[in-house]
Structure 1
Amino acid sequence: MSTRTARSILPGFGLSLGFTVAYLSLIVLLPLMAVFIKSSGMSAAGFWRAVSSPFVVSAYKVSFFASLAAALVNAVFGLIVAWVLTRYSFPGKKLVDALVDIPFALPTAVAGIALTTIYAPTGWIGRWLIPYDIKIAYTEIGVFIALTFIGLPFVVRTLQPVMEELEPELEEASATMGASRFQTLRRVVFPELAPALLTGTAMAFARALGEYGSVVFIGANLPMKTQIVPHVIYEKLEQYDYQGATAIATVMLVASFSLLLLINLLQNWSRRHHKI
């Protein structure tokens, strides 16, 4: 009895894989290789001087700490926003859902101007804080707010599909067995959401590390105070210090890749632990 092999109308594995590898090589791999190759032309001492000057170290601290703080805040409030959008019906829900995507669609420079207009000493909110000696624009707080603004959609949009697939019957069964609401959230709901929450938080963190446009305006890029790493790289390029710029970019690239690798390992651990 003969069997027939079904043929797909779409291209097979070989052609699809070849196209995928070629496309990713042109768009992702080659630019990353160019960064490493350019920085490899420096001596070890020159590389270290470029990436460890006081101004660069200060920019590292601002970028990493502000990005981490923004990502953690977005993890908490993004979880709440996603929960409200998936579990409740209320007037204006579609409008709120659309507002989440504004940081995706809005040019970052426009976002920076808008935030500065609000939080500057003469801004809508900033003017009311000046009597209390509270300054937001042109400070580290302004950088944090800008990075929080651009990172929120990554957490919300990563969590929403998972929450929509989470059956409410699981929570109801937990409640009928005598579990409190907090126990249900901790033992039933959160383990299901943890991998997606880690992914969204990591994406928000990585996006914040590379942010430039919005921070330029509200942070003013004051050296040793609010200057971020992308602006340091931009200044190096303006000074035709291409090797110095690529050396700093290499550090950021290695840091981002290490972070994403760590998050993937944590996700795999979370899935295995949950299955057990």
Structure 2
Amino acid sequence: MVALPVGIVARSGFSAGLGGLARALWHPVARSALLLTLQSAAIMALINAVMGTLIAYVLVRYQFPGRRILNLLIDLPFAIPTLVAGLMLVVLLGPSAPLGRALDGAGLRVVYAPASILLCLLFVTLPFVVRAVEPVLRELDPAEEEAARILGASDVAAFRRVILPSLSPAIVSGSLLSFSRALGEFGSIVVVAGNIPRRTLTAAVFVFGEVESGNPLAASAMALVLITISFSILLLVDAFGRRAAHA
């Protein structure tokens, strides 16, 4: 189910030899699409590492009205089609929406611009860090944090020196998984980004366009790069998990 399709893509990507693969990837449009995808995914992973950790901390450590609803909303990106996520961003921030018009008037164009790619990736990958950090945070003893405060540590110092070291493997694993997921995001981006070559065209949308254009070599070459990066990230996540379990 997995190995056969990957093998077919690899065979197609190398059908013109290593030189053909390199030429397909070195095309300016392909290079730009891959670079934009990697940059957007990296920025998204850093934001998710911070915001996902804070959200998990709030959900575990605090009781407040609407907490259950918030907990359900975290998993919403897993439950809805990503095309719907793109549509929601267009309705909220598109040129015809009041908020979108206000942002355009301030010189901040979001939809059909690179910023829309980052927003899409943040939406669809939000649960990864939250759900990776949350169970680890539940297992930590709050008494250690309270002891640090009694000894004079501030809330920030207690979090940084007592809690954060234990959460680091989960934060890294969740961030890497969100990065890997972002590499292949298609549905939401194709709706909101405009898919302008060398500006808002991402790697996944590039693959789709090359398939539609009858250029399977370029599509397979880019797909092979994405598969290789994702598989390498999975190996890193597994290594972090093994190290955390050993510790």
TM-score bracket, normalised by the shorter chain, equals: over 0.9
Compute the displacement of 1:175 (Å). Answer: 2.6
Q: Which residue of 2 aligns with 1:20?
A: none
Cα distance in structure 2, aligned partners of 1:60 and 1:179: 45
Q: Deviations over 1:117-151 (max 9, x none)?
A: 11112213111112211100000001111111111
Distance 1:33 1:106 in 2: 30
2:71 is the alignment partner of 1:100: no
Q: What is aligned with 1:11?
A: none
Residue number in structure 2 paired with 1:165: 139
Report the CA distance between 1:177 and its aligned residue.
Answer: 3.4
Letter in 2 for 1:70: M
TM-score, length-scaled by structure 2: 0.93
Partner Cα distance (2:38, 2:11) in 1: 25
In the alignment, what sits opposite 2:175?
201
**Shift, 1:271, TM fit:** 6.6
Paired letter, 2:227: L
2:55 is aligned with what amino acid?
Answer: V
Structure-2 separation of matches of 1:203 and 1:263: 8
**Given the alignment, which residue of 117, 126, 140 partners 2:100?**
126
Residue 206 of structure 2 aligns to which amino acid in structure 1?
A: V
Distance 1:266 1:157, change over 3 A: closer
Residues 221-274 of structure 1, C-alpha deviation per residue, up to 9 Å, x if partnerless? 1111000111111111112222221111111111222233344445556676xx
Partner of residue 14, structure 1: none
Q: Which amino acid aligns with 1:63?
A: T
The more displaced of 154-163 and 34-43 is 34-43
1:244 is aligned to 218
Matched letter for residue 141 of structure 2: E
Equivalent residue runs for 1:175-186 within 5 Å: 175-186=149-160
**Structure 2 Cα separation of the partners of residues 255 and 236 of structure 1:** 20
**1:80 lines up with 2:54 in the alignment:** yes
| Equivalent position of 1:189 in the other structure | 163
In 1, the alpha carbon distance for the partners of 2:107 and 2:153 equals 47
Asked if 1 retains the 8 angstrom alpha-carbon contact of 2:45 and 2:179, the reply is yes
Instruction: Supply the distance in 2 between the matched residues of 1:241 and 1:129 (Cα, whole angstroms).
Output: 38
Q: CA deviation at 1:202?
A: 0.8
1:107 is displaced (CA, Å) by 0.6
- Pairing 1:41–2:15 present: yes
Which one-letter code corresponds to 1:150 in the other structure?
A: V
Is the 2:180–2:229 Cα contact (8 Å) retained in structure 1?
A: no
Deviations 1:35-66 (A, max 9, x none): 21222322222111111100001101111111
**Identical positions, percent:** 36
Which deviates more from structure 2 when the two are superposed, residues 171-180 or residues 147-156? 171-180
| CA displacement 1:6-40 (0-9 Å, x = unmatched) | xxxxxxxxxxxxxxxxxxxxx32222222212223
RMSD, aligned CA: 1.7
Work out which of the two has the higher radius of gyration on C-alpha atoms and give 1 or 2: 1
Deviant stretches of 4+, over 6 Å: none
> Structure 2 regions of 5+ residues with no counterpart?
none
* C-alpha displacement of 1:158: 1.1
2:192 is aligned with 1:218: yes
Match of 1:32 in 2: 6
Q: Mark the runs of 5 or more structure 1 residues left unpaired by the alignment.
A: 1-26
> CA–CA distance in 1 between the matches of 2:132 and 2:244?
16
Residue type at the aligned position of 2:78: F
Instruction: Give TM-score scaled by structure 1 length.
Output: 0.84
Is the CA contact 1:194–1:270 (under 8 Å) kept in the aligned structure 2? Answer: no
Tell me if the contact between 1:108 and 1:214 (Cα under 8 Å) persists in the aligned partners: yes
